[in-house]
Amino acid sequence: MTKPENQKIQEQLSALFFEVMHIDVPAADTDLFETGILDSQRFVELLLHIEQNFKTRIDIQDFEVENFRCIEKIAALIIQHTENRIPALSHSNLASD
């Protein structure tokens, strides 16, 4: 994804934190754990909202603190999962068009 798309996801995440979770994150690079913004309960809530709002599942192997440390890293993880789920064009896909 391009930088504008990354920025858009960061903005959507900021809105999710503020409007849905009622948390004001000062900046995209704010450490969500160090500041106490995310605890174990809010982390689970965040995962649920990410899956619902971005139509992506976060795999268990991605449950590392570093992947969720700040909005920038969460956006990168969402982008990674979005790119991985885009189906490759196959002969059968082409034949149905």
On whether residue 10 sits in a domain, the answer given is yes
The mean per-residue pLDDT over the stretch 8-30 comes to 96
Q: What is the pLDDT of residues 65-94, one digit of tens each?
A: 999 999 999 999 999 888 766 544 444 444
CB 73 within 8 A of CB 9: no
Assess if residue 37 is contained within a domain: yes
Structure tokens at 44: 């689970």
- Domain count within the chain: 1
For residues 83 and 32, give the distance between their C-alpha atoms in angstroms, rounded to a whole number.
25
Q: Which of 33-47, 58-72, 81-95 has the least mean pLDDT?
A: 81-95
Q: Which domain holds residue 45?
A: 3-92
Any idea what the CATH number is for the domain that residue 34 is in? 1.10.1200.10
Q: Give residue 59's pLDDT band: very low, low, confident or very high (50, 70, 90).
A: confident
* 14 falls within a domain: yes
The pLDDT of residue 85: 60
Could you tell me if residue 77 is inside a domain?
yes
Inside any domain, residue 97? no
Helix (H), strand (E), coil (C) string for the chain: CCHHHHHHHHHHHHHHHHHHCCCCCCCCCCCCCCCCCCCHHHHHHHHHHHHHHHCCCCCHHHCCHHHHCCHHHHHHHHHHHHHHHCCCCCHHHHHCC
